[in-house]
Structure 1
């Protein structure tokens, strides 16, 4: 039984290519989610170099995306029912809070924030120096004010539990 379409988004940080499939994508499939996987452009080569792209593709019948589509091309799938963005780099958190969609991942997430009933969970991966930036708390407050669930220090599998609350 499918729970719905889950957008899994990742940016380049935290050794994501080592845990994303085993700790987030596979458990999501086991819970009945259909996956729509999108990467920021910088992280896609990490997954490719780690030999993870084919294994991730085997978990979904939808294309794994990181490049924008041409204006004449239709969307490859509808807007997911929920999103998990993990890990989210400090750069991506700032862009998301400001509504900047300069890559496929942020475009999808920015759209999702505006979709009524679409739950968006973001797990920032930013060191203490980046979190001390004077705009960090403003970005997090902007996202939470828009209904985004922003969590830190949660194991990837536990992010799936947040979709049920």
Structure 2
């Protein structure tokens, strides 16, 4: 995420603030990536809500990017479940006029065949979400059958942000 998304976004002149799900926060703190992101952005990496007496640690947002989004994240976002800091922020953004949200669902073919999946995608589209999704962006493979070392479509995500914020 740092080298594929955050650094290129900053090279485009964007200020970047990172908010993670608790699971992603755990993973990135264990491998030192959260600290690298904090040094790079100059802002704390959030994965928990702040107390009411604490100041907001991030500036006002012009666009939210959810990338990569797990099938679980997409399902929760589409159904309005806001059970962690990241989902709360993006869920609020979906209810805010003129605040773009870009989502890249990093899923496999089995996720996409789930009976609820298309409803989730349709719900996000109806909410105005800019989806970075489709076989031209992220071909779907069966679980554990994708080529190893496959790069995430960071350029497509960055371009979607450019388009969403015009």
**Shared fold by TM > 0.5?**
yes
Kindly name which structure, 1 or 2, has the bigger radius of gyration based on alpha carbons.
2
Aligned positions of 1:1-165 closer than 5 A: 20-152=1-133, 153=138, 155-165=153-163
More strand by share: 1
**TM-score of the aligned structures, taking structure 2 as reference length:** 0.82
**TM-score of the aligned structures, taking structure 1 as reference length:** 0.82
RMSD, matched Cα? 1.4
2-structure distance, mates of 1:71, 1:97 = 27
Provide structure 1 residue ranges, at least 5 long, that are not aligned to the other structure.
1-19
What is the count of residue pairs matched by the alignment?
146
Q: Which has the higher contact order (CA 8 A, sep 6+)?
A: 1
Provide structure 2 residue ranges, at least 5 long, that are not aligned to the other structure.
139-151
1:111-159: per-residue Cα shift (whole Å, max 9, x none)? 1112222111101112111111111000110000110011222611221
1:78 Cα deviation after fit? 4.2
